[in-house]
């Protein structure tokens, strides 16, 4: 009988249960997605460029678990609040507390298990789709990546069963303590009154300190190593929560106190509503800020790794291509490329030496790469070459040798095509050069307008080079492209993880915030109805909702992005310039976030401002 009653009670709140269930499903599927990578140690080890990648995943798991548990506590108290009043009524009519508690327990577990099954299924689907799309987009093959990964399924299952059991237990205890009357009036009392906000200087101070510690560890990650890897997430997270809890209500309070803003039309209500809510929102907003930081951070890192291959290649040398004796096929490929500089040097070789002609070098002074560590810069060789007639026997003598200037030494050193053959390079005047026996050859070097625009051509040229010289293997080539290729194959795995986790975290962020806002909506409905009654235009209420949610969305976005901007420092030891084009991921994030804001507003409006 009671079961029937409880089912009947659920029916009336289908919308709320839908919000609850979708929130849970989202959390579980994101958790699962994370686990597919986290437990697949082989995949992450063989695909990551970061030595401590395992540690990154452990830290990530801990953070995600904390966020998940917090989120679950919210969903649970929401579940309880959905039922409290009804339970109170049943008890007043004579139902025993024991059976009420049983119903609540069963309900929690049923909802938990249902969302777990759906959530893992959705998670597998999401992991597959995201993996598939990313692999396609990034042009990489993912060896060893599995969207259905049994250890991940088990881990997710166990984690959530434990969490659901705990929440069921919490409900049990809560119900044991309360009186019937408290249950009946449960929707009137608890947060009907804005708590008087005392400025909590201690919280704010502690928050500032730990946030600074977190930022310092992020910036000096390379020096702090493992300590940094633990300190950065711990302190940053702690600082974020403390600041949101301590400072956000103060800010909103100040905004409300500004009568010039708040005494116009319905704005007074907007800020009152905001002030009223903010107390209950601080933790969730801090969570959202962290998730934004993680999500946008992971995507930015992914993009940074993607860009880093071409940057690294640029740092390899001034010239994009170096070909010994270009043949017809190679020349055909070169035709497709727009070069900003092309040079050709005659040379002869014998088994031990390579001889360059001084006039050629003098007439086409090559460029040298002078890097400042971040950005490639170029400089033309200006130093002098050996002058006058050069005695061959003298320069061949290892004791005396040929004293080339530093710049020329490096410039000639760059005129290699592979690691296999090392020959000393000698620069000769034309007279001596012509005395050398052997066939004259050409060394061709070229610098294109943009290396990454001709990847296809470079690849072809490398292939031809190997065909020309059968003793060489791909690993022997010193070409810019071979380096680029090798580096990208390193980065693609890391990049994939970045994007994958970024998407997962942003999805979690979306569901967190949406859940919190929508789950409170039914309670707000009566307020909006009342305002309608006393004559506030629908459009004014709509504006009020847009404003209120905008402010709510604004704070976590600002803090989250600040974390990202500081946090990218962390990668500076592995990526040349982690901030290269950082605005791309940030703009992508902002677009998604705005869309998501509009959707939330629309959904919220549907609940609190029903059509007339």
Partner 1 sequence: MGSPVVEVRNVQKVYGKKGGNQFKALNDVTFSMQEGEFVGIMGPSGSGKTTLLNVISTLDQVTSGEIKIDNVDITDMGQDELSDFRSQKLGFIFQDFNLLENMTIAENIALPLYLQGTPAKNIDAKVVTVAKRLGIEELLQKYPAEISGGQKQRSAAARALVHEPTVILGDEPTGALDSKNATSLLETMKDLNDRQNVSIMMVTHDAYSASYCQRIIFIQDGKLHKEIHRSATRELFYKEILDVLAQLGTKNA
Smallest distance, Å, CB 261 to partner 1?
10
Give the integer Cα–Cα distance in Å for 511 and 517: 10
How far apart CA 41 and CA 358 sit, in angstroms, is 56
Q: How far is the CB of 587 from partner 1 (least distance, A)?
A: 36
Among 165, 255, 536, 586, binds partner 1 (CB under 8 A): 536
> Which position among 189, 198, 335, 338 is part of the footprint of partner 1 (CB under 8 A)?
189
Closer to partner 1 at the Cβ: 283 or 538?
Answer: 538
Among 193, 335, 387, 470, binds partner 1 (CB under 8 A): 193
**Residue 273 interacts with partner 1 (CB under 8 A): yes or no:** yes
Q: Could you tell me which stretch among 10-18, 263-271, 387-395, 589-597 binds partner 1 (CB under 8 A)?
A: 263-271
Which of 213, 186, 277, 367 is closest to 552 using CA atoms?
277
Give the residue with the Cβ less far from partner 1, 97 or 532.
532
Q: Which of residues 276-335 bind partner 1 (CB under 8 A)?
A: 276-277
CA-atom Rg of the chain in angstroms: 33
Angstrom CA distances, 500 to 167, 299, 375, 592, stand at: 30, 8, 29, 16
The closest of 442, 429, 440 to 342, measured between CA atoms, is 442
Q: Is 611 in the site for partner 1 (CB under 8 A)?
A: no
- C-beta neighbour count of 126 within 10 angstroms: 21
Q: 31, 247, 269, 458: which one contacts partner 1 (CB under 8 A)?
A: 269
Quick one: tokens of 205?
């101070």
Q: Are 173 and 78 in contact (CB under 8 A)?
A: no
Binding residue for partner 1, selected from 203, 272, 385, 562, defined by CB under 8 A: 272
Does 254 sit near partner 1 (CB under 8 A)?
no
Interface pick for partner 1 out of 64, 103, 266, 608 (rule CB under 8 A): 266
Contact assessment for residue 303 and residue 491, using Cβ atoms and an 8 Å cutoff: no
Burial class (CB in 10 A: 0-12, 13-18, 19+), 157: middle
Output 468 or 527, the one with its CB closest to partner 1.
Answer: 527
Q: Which residues contact 83 (CB under 8 A, 6 or more apart)?
A: 6, 9, 104, 107
Burial of 309 (0-12, 13-18, 19+ CB in 10 A): buried
Q: Which of residues 512-531 bind partner 1 (CB under 8 A)?
A: 526-527, 530-531
Residue 75's closest CA among 115, 38, 102?
115
Instruction: Give least dist CB 194 to partner 1, A.
Output: 6
- Shortest Cβ 249–partner 1 spacing (Å): 14
Kindly state the smallest distance separating residue 607's Cβ from partner 1, in Å. 17
The reply on whether position 372 binds partner 1 by CB under 8 A is: no
| Residue ranges in 232-251 that form contacts with partner 1 under rule CB under 8 A | none
- Tell me the closest approach of the beta carbon of residue 98 to partner 1, in angstroms: 32
Rounded-to-integer distance, Cα 369 and Cα 380, Å: 9
Using the minimum distance from each CB to partner 1, give the nearer residue, 193 or 471: 193
Farthest-apart Cα atoms in the chain, separation: 116
Q: CA–CA separation, 429 vs 431, rounded Å?
A: 6
Q: Closest Cα partner for 265 from 453, 512, 543, 582?
A: 543
Question: Minimum distance from CB of 557 to partner 1 (Å)?
Answer: 24
| Ranges within 427-456 binding partner 1 (CB under 8 A) | none
Q: Please pick, from the candidates 198, 254, 260, 335, the single residue that binds partner 1 as defined by CB under 8 A.
A: 260
End-to-end Cα, the chain, rounded Å = 38
The stretch among 271-279, 288-296, 376-384, 439-447 that binds partner 1 (CB under 8 A) is 271-279
- Least separation, in Å, of the C-beta of 74 and partner 1? 20
Which residues are near partner 1 by CB under 8 A? 189, 192-194, 259-260, 263-269, 272-273, 275-277, 526-527, 530-540, 612
């Amino acid at each position: 009988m009671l079961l029937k009653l409880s089912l009947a009670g659920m029916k009336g709140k289908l919308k709320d249960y839908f919000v609850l269930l979708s929130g849970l499903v989202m959390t579980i599927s994101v958790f699962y997605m994370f686990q597919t990578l986290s437990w697949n140690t082989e995949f992450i080890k063989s695909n990551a460029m970061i030595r401590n990648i395992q540690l990154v995943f452990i830290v990530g798991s801990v953070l995600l678990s904390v966020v998940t548990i917090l989120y679950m506590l919210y969903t649970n108290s929401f579940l309880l609040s959905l039922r409290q009043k009804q339970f109170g009524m049943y008890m007043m009519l004579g139902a025993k507390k024991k059976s009420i508690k049983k119903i609540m327990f069963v309900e929690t577990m049923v909802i938990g298990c249902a969302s777990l099954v759906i959530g893992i299924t959705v998670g597998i689907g999401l992991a597959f789709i995201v993996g598939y799309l990313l692999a396609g987009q990034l042009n990489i093959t993912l060896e060893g990546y599995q969207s259905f990964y049994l250890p991940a399924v088990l881990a997710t299952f166990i984690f959530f069963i434990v969490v659901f059991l705990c929440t069921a237990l919490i409900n049990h205890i809560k119900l044991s303590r309360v009186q019937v009357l408290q249950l009946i009036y449960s929707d009137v009392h608890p947060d009907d009154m804005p708590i008087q906000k005392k400025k909590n200087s201690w919280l704010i101070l502690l928050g500032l300190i730990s946030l600074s510690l977190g930022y310092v560890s992020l910036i000096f990650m390379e020096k702090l190593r493992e300590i940094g890897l633990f300190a950065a997430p711990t302190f940053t997270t702690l600082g974020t929560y403390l600041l949101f809890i301590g400072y956000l209500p103060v800010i909103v309070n100040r905004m409300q106190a500004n009568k010039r803003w708040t005494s116009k039309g319905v704005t007074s209500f907007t800020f009152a509503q905001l002030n009223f809510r903010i107390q209950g929102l601080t933790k969730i907003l801090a969570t959202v800020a962290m998730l934004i930081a993680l999500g946008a951070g992971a995507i930015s890192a992914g993009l940074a790794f993607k860009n880093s291959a071409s940057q690294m290649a640029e740092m390899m040398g001034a010239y994009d291509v170096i070909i010994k004796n270009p043949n017809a096929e190679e020349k055909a490929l070169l035709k497709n490329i727009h070069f900003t500089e092309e040079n050709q040097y005659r040379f002869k070789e014998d088994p031990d030496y390579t001889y360059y002609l001084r006039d050629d070098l003098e007439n086409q002074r090559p460029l040298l790469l002078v890097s400042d560590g971040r950005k490639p810069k170029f400089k033309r060789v200006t130093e002098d070459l050996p002058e006058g007639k050069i005695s061959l026997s003298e320069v061949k003598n290892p004791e005396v040798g040929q004293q080339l200037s530093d710049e020329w030494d490096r410039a000639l050193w760059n005129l290699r095509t592979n690691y296999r053959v090392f020959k000393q390079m000698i620069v000769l005047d034309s007279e001596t050069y012509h005395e050398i026996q052997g066939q004259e050859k050409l060394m061709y070097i070229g610098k294109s307008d943009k290396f990454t625009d001709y990847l296809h051509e470079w690849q072809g040229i490398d292939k031809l080079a190997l065909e020309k010289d059968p003793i060489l293997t791909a690993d022997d080539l010193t070409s810019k492209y071979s380096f680029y290729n090798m580096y990208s194959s390193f980065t693609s795995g890391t990049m994939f993880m970045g994007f994958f986790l970024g998407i997962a975290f942003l999805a979690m962020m979306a569901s967190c915030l949406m859940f919190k806002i929508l789950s409170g909506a039914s309670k707000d409905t009566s307020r909006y109805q009342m305002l309608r009654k006393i004559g506030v235009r629908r459009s004014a209420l709509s504006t009020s909702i847009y404003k209120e949610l905008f402010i709510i969305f604004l704070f976590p976005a600002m803090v989250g992005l600040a974390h990202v901007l500081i946090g990218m420092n962390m990668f500076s030891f592995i990526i040349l310039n982690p901030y290269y084009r950082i605005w791309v991921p940030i703009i992508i994030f902002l677009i998604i976030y705005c869309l998501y804001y509009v959707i939330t507003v629309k959904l919220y409006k549907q609940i609190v401002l029903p059509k007339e």
